[in-house]
Structure 1
Amino acid sequence: MRDITLNPEQRLYVIATEGGVTCFGFDNARDHARQIAQRLDRPDLMPTADDAASLTGYEKYLAAVRAWGESAQGHGTYFDPGTDPRLARVLETCRRDGRKVRLVLGDTGTGASWLDEFDVVGTVGRSTGLLKVPLLVEPGEAAGTAILCAHVLALMDWDTGLPLYRHPRWQPPELRIRASDDDVRPWSVVLHEQPVANFDDIGKAGAYLAFMRGASVEPRVFR
């Protein structure tokens, strides 16, 4: 196994790479191993309480990933633990249809959007490897970034603007536009009276507000 150390304070596996280190959470390793063990009916892969913050836990995660990749289920799309089954079905349909979509990502516990403007518009693809996860492929790109499926609040059809999926806790953020004290960018979009973005043109501010509420507005309009 690769050179791995433990960071108990932050609950992370610290994994050495050629360019430095990368980190993977104890809880992520446990949840993936648990999900795979259940779906493959492999109790030998199921992590125990003692595995949670140990190298054994990471070994079980790696074993579970290998087992998944070698199984018949490994040929399909793999969704993160905590993914709503309804969302998984919608993403698969969009992937097969090549449909352009708009993602809203955030905290599924509160329904609050992260107000992301990058990596949220494109088509749904799928990675290669042992875990074939869904990707968001932006227009004009050949590859994409992994979709954080357990944090999707809403998914809209880009062409129609209609919702294809909506988390029960999601509500479009209550954004509004007001004048700012910035002479260069005199228009501010605020949430709960706190500025989240400033613009040199009120039209750009309006486009940003609409986009963050889920509308099909090209980001280049307000960037």
Structure 2
Amino acid sequence: MVVNKNIKPRFMYREKRTRPEDSGWRIFTGFESEEYNNNPDNIGIYNPSTILKIDPSIEDLLLKGIGSVYEKTENDDWYKVTDFDLEDDFMTTHRITEDWTIEINNLFERSVEQDGTLYYTTGDKSLRLIVWNSEKNKQELYADYNRDIEDRDQTKSKTLDRFEFSDKDISRIGYLIEENDDKKIYSVIYGFSIIDRQVLQIAIYFDEKTDFDWAKNTWKNIKLKK
């Protein structure tokens, strides 16, 4: 209906892609019935530029991450929907190594980079994890990393906050900074989960300040395998 009848979209959501060239965005006029949507002849795959010619107002929304849901008001303003259930939106536990697991939303796409770093992303929220082995015990490693945080170069990026989420099994310390890539400014938490002879390092990237609690909880959800 959007393309064939040139009707501006009023509802759109982004789910996990089904193929590499798929963005995951599903865009509707809001007038489609369930029966209409169940007919594959009524579904089309289009270049984003085709949809933007019909409604340029969705340009910024297309940069939002997997799991995003937006609807238009009667005044033609887009607002974020928080009570729409996506099929892939649930928590799952992944094994990182023989020792470590992470509980993370299934909407995140997972890959391994060339240097062995584990990478998760929805587009607007991302995390990188890598494990470092050492000959030192937990106390020695904690002292080393705590000193590195205290002495880090503040001229490149100022430490905005520091964290201590240690428990009896894992020492967790880290810090918050802001970075930019010439297109936008985003927040990053660098966290270190420390046990005897091993450190799991995580970098958590997020665009919106409202995702700060998500970032901290994601770090805490890295645990030792039981």
The TM-score, its normalising length taken from structure 2, stands at 0.26
Higher relative contact order (CA 8 A, sep 6+): 2
The TM-score, its normalising length taken from structure 1, stands at 0.26
Q: Which structure: greater helix fraction?
A: 1
